[in-house]
Structure 1
């Protein structure tokens, strides 16, 4: 269908900015994050900043992931189950703590291979701030993927008072240098 409005039919071409074009031509991908060689077993990473989880985060996450357990969205149900208020969806707790570790552990690239030994240690409530730390458990070269190794970390999540709230082991394929 063709529009009868001549202004719509004649969209002027915007000339390419020569500075932007030159910068794109000169741009190089730069390696970010740690590599396989940086992950010596026993090395500890205290991940940055932390993240305060809000009631809005909890509701939005539960709705967007179709996680409709009323305990995570309904205060009366939560109280009937022994909570002082609505607890944060545990999957949001996991994803938040996992996300806090990405910059140090997996930003360098390589596929995620899985999580083991996931344990939720205590409920988290809106207003709590989550922090994460990880320790390298093991590493080995990937036999079927030259230039990569397999690294496993044990990640711990705590709240602002230092109470342990979650822990898990996570494994990634990690790029080697060179």
Structure 2
């Protein structure tokens, strides 16, 4: 029912400001106190994974692996057609969870146990997402926040089969800040940074020699590791490409994955934040760094990720570069492979540490990755 007799001009600037002052805000997101260990949350939003969305993500983050673009290359790798890229699948799983889990704000402390559960996910798959609260605890350094860890799974909506899963940890604002820090020592939030810079000079401890593989195949990574063995050396190198953050990366990609966090698109709210402006979705930063890395290797399959950390915020105009350290190589997989993957003779397992850094050579993301890399023959 409408009141057509109301003489008030609600669009008069002074009147409207007075109305805003009196109106209650219908809030989005969830405060820390609402999370309890064991709670399972089914996220209402879901995404139909389209080829257009997949190719937009890949092109913007410089992920040009041929098997995800070309039918003939996909067939060579055993796919029925170019599949959904694992970075896009991961981002499209995290995006729908944001409204229920982290839209209130707070720092993204890290993610681990990222595992792909199926060999291939194809365009047209409808994605449903659920999360379980694994742990809640007080923040030792910020009484106005708590810390929550969730396990999140992206599933095929038709079959219910798990496609990807991970654990992530965030600081979440409390509805009522603690009066004290609970007797904990400041800075005991798991040893992870929270977007605040530090001028401390760490002890370097670098090896004398950094080696670069001679090629992009599994044998090249293994040979470089063999060369480093028994020497004060490591296999570590930087990637040439950079990607400067523009509007498509800052707001376009997160919104296309249903990531509604105001940190990525609400400049007015972010004006009072430490960054002073919107910041980039962490999965965009991550995917750019991994795209740089994959351009220097023959990636056969992605297996999983661990110990992912976001060390500082990224804003418009920053440029993201990539650095890689090779940790190990094995002809026989040491971790469980996605369902349907048989890499015998086609690929070997390589473990990497990847670091994304900005134009000031400051790390903004790091994580370990396990991937199958094609053998030369």
Q: Which TM-score tier does this pair reach, normalised by the shorter chain?
A: 0.7 to 0.9
SS of aligned partner of 2:45: coil
Task: Give the TM-score, by structure 2 length.
Answer: 0.41
Extract unaligned runs of 5+ from structure 2: 1-11, 177-377
Extract unaligned runs of 5+ from structure 1: 1-15
| 2:108 matches 1:109 | no
Task: Give the TM-score, by structure 1 length.
Answer: 0.85
Aligned counterparts of 2:73 and 2:19: Cα–Cα separation in 1: 56
Q: Spell out, residue by residue over 1:8-48, the C-alpha distance to the aligned partner (whole angstroms, 9 max, x if none).
A: xxxxxxxx844444445556766431111111110000011
Aligned counterparts of 2:86 and 2:103: Cα–Cα separation in 1: 24
SS of aligned partner of 1:171: strand
Q: Quick one: structure 1 residues 27 and 67, their matched pair in 2 at CA, closer, same or farther if it must change by over 3 Å?
A: farther
- The residue aligned with 1:142 is 139
Q: Please list every run of at least 4 consecutive aligned residues from structure 1 whose deviation after the TM superposition is greater than 6 angstroms.
A: none
| 2:31 matches 1:35 | yes
Q: Spell out, residue by residue over 1:55-96, the C-alpha distance to the aligned partner (whole angstroms, 9 max, x if none).
A: 111111100111111111111111110000011011110001
- The residue aligned with 2:63 is 67
- Bigger Cα displacement from structure 2, 21-30 vs 68-77: 21-30
Higher helix share: 1
Aligned counterparts of 1:175 and 1:17: Cα–Cα separation in 2: 32
- The residue aligned with 1:84 is 80
- The residue aligned with 1:119 is 115
Aligned counterparts of 2:109 and 2:76: Cα–Cα separation in 1: 38
**RMSD, aligned CA:** 1.7
Aligned counterparts of 2:26 and 2:111: Cα–Cα separation in 1: 28
- The residue aligned with 1:128 is 125
Aligned counterparts of 1:105 and 1:78: Cα–Cα separation in 2: 36
- The residue aligned with 2:165 is 167
